[in-house]
A and B are shown apart, each in its own frame.
Chain A
Amino acid sequence: AQSVAQPEDQVNVAEGNPLTVKCTYSVSGNPYLFWYVQYPNRGLQFLLKYITGDNLVKGSYGFEAEFNKSQTSFHLKKPSALVSDSALYFCAVRVKAAGNKLTFGGGTRVLVKP
């Protein structure tokens, strides 16, 4: 079975500082990895994905993530956080053999303080 872990329930960071949200996964087979963001009272918004190729992927709003196969990680990063980045972030994994469904992590709440 596939699973995703987001070890931090909340991450606090000062505006302008680097932001990292951690994600590790466990799958059988090659993973397709995703990050989503959820603002209050909204649906999840797709940020970026890793399917194959370059391990560093860039996405919306200045976010990027690095796929690390040996550490089975896919951490989300932003060099300089904004107050408006405060939201709930979800990591998700898909394995082809499991069909089209995504398995989501428990989410990490990010609070960026001015």
Chain B
Amino acid sequence: DAGVIQSPRHEVTEMGQEVTLRCKPISGHNSLFWYRQTMMRGLELLIYFNNNVPIDDSGMPEDRFSAKMPNASFSTLKIQPSEPRDSAVYFCASTLTGGDSYEQYFGPGTRLTVT
């Protein structure tokens, strides 16, 4: 199993530019989560999907952030326009809901730097 795949691993962009982060969950998993990690705020849940449908986006900071999951094997997190305070490591995680397997499996993360 390849695990959760994220791309790019590193992204450096200038303030005002659009940034798109990508995630491929583990095959067969039906829930997908986007997190942001910073030194100041720790690990924050931004949004999660069940069966490709957004369930809780209360953690999305503002309208500049949007996420989509067009199918079970792909999701994007977009920031437009980006700002320096968006600099963080963004993680995608997936899980199979049901039974007793509620643990989430994390990707390696995308380190975003906005200058």
Contact = CB atoms under 8 A, between A and B. Distances in A.
Given A44-B91, A100-B97, A106 B102 contact: no
Interface in A90-104: 90, 94, 99-102, 104
B102 A43 contact: no
Interface in A40-58: 42-46, 49, 51-52
B42 A101 contact: no
A32 B102 contact: yes
Contacts of B103: 34, 46, 49
A99 B102 contact: no
A89 B45 CA distance: 17
Contacts, number: 50
Contacts of A51: 100, 102
Contacts of B105: 46
Interface of B: 4, 31, 33, 42-43, 45, 48, 50, 55-56, 91, 93, 95, 97, 100, 102-109
22 contacts: A42-B109, A43-B107, A43-B109, A44-B43, A44-B91, A44-B93, A46-B103, A46-B104, A46-B105, A49-B103, A51-B100, A52-B100, A90-B43, A99-B50, A100-B31, A100-B48, A100-B50, A100-B55, A101-B33, A101-B48, A102-B45, A107-B43
